Amino acid sequence: MPHAQLESFEFVSDVDGPHLLVLGAIHGDEHCGPQAITQIIKEFESGQRTIKKGKVTFIPVCNPRAYAQGVRFIDHNLNRNIKRREDTRGIYEYELMNALCPYLESADIMLDIHSYQVGGKPFAFVNSLEGQEVEISRAIGAEYIVTGNVEAYRNTRSVEDKMSVGTQEYVLTFGGEGIIFECGQHEDPKSLINAKQAIEKILAFLGLCEGVHDSGRNVPVITLKKTFMKKGEGHLSKDWSNFDRLKQGDVIAQFDDGSELICPEDGVFVLPKANVTVGYEFGYLGQAVGE
């Protein structure tokens, strides 16, 4: 397989400042990132927007083949088990990771733009409650801030730790900070508006461009406690919405073998997904920090 290439756009100031990396379409079925990033690139190219300090790198489409086909991925979820590999074993996303890793390694701050299956408000995943990821998430319009991705995977014995390394965790291991911004439902036009505003606001918050941001708002912080795995054929017990309240003992899902997935503790349902393949997650149990 020839080496996969990624199209990137870079805008650099003579004045020192942070290096921001903005990613779209890590998942090929998510359109708001590429569209919003393309609009912002046009603003830079037309001179309507200028960079005051630092550097911003945009990769509008991180999974070009999946994006062209409108599917989440080709061979492997690009946001799982990210690392450089000498032997990519013919797996397209492993080729992409080799192209993507140098960008992730050199960024001070990464904004990775996604959309999701169930409708709802924009929210952010952060690595840590320390540092500036939480404040950036507030600044760019998140209505919820979710942390504890890695821990949620580690609490699931059936999934290896290494699977939890997505863009965000990879950036962290190279000393950067990373925010995954979930803009809304895949097909909702509001997701594009949220994505574009998030880019405008992070550029303003970091001082890379003129503009306003929403820093200082009070936003609930949710920690992920457990992954709800689809261990066999089955379905969610109802049409769950994102951040629905959960009670200990609630039936999350029913499997075809007659067994049930029971909620172990009170909390909220983060990112419920009805249409998932066996071996992947139905979603996560989250709990509000400080509750």
Q: Which residues bind Zn ion (CB under 5 A)?
A: 27, 114
Alpha-carbon span 271 to 238, nearest angstrom? 14
Q: How far is the CB of 113 from Zn ion (least distance, A)?
A: 9
Q: How far is the CB of 30 from Zn ion (least distance, A)?
A: 5
Q: How far is the CB of 217 from Zn ion (least distance, A)?
A: 24
Q: How far is the CB of 180 from Zn ion (least distance, A)?
A: 8
Amino acid at 118: V
Count the helices and strands in the chain (H runs, E runs): 7, 14
**Burial of residue 89, with CB atoms counted within 10 A of its CB: 0-12 exposed, 13-18 middle, 19 or more buried:** exposed
| Gyration radius of the chain over CA positions | 19
**Distance, CA of 147 to chain centre:** 12
Q: Which CB sits closer to Zn ion, 77 or 128?
A: 77
Alpha-carbon span 23 to 64, nearest angstrom? 12
Q: Which CB sits closer to Zn ion, 27 or 49?
A: 27
Q: Which CB sits closer to Zn ion, 26 or 203?
A: 26
Q: Which CB sits closer to Zn ion, 114 or 138?
A: 114
Q: How far is the CB of 183 from Zn ion (least distance, A)?
A: 10
Q: Which CB sits closer to Zn ion, 195 or 204?
A: 195
Q: Which CB sits closer to Zn ion, 44 or 137?
A: 137
Q: Please, are residues 167 and 23 in contact by the beta-carbon 8 Å criterion?
A: yes
Cα 232 to Cα 116, 253, 280: the distances in Å are: 23, 11, 10
**CB-nearest residue to Zn ion:** 114
Q: How far is the CB of 45 from Zn ion (least distance, A)?
A: 27
Count CB neighbours of 258 within 10 A: 7
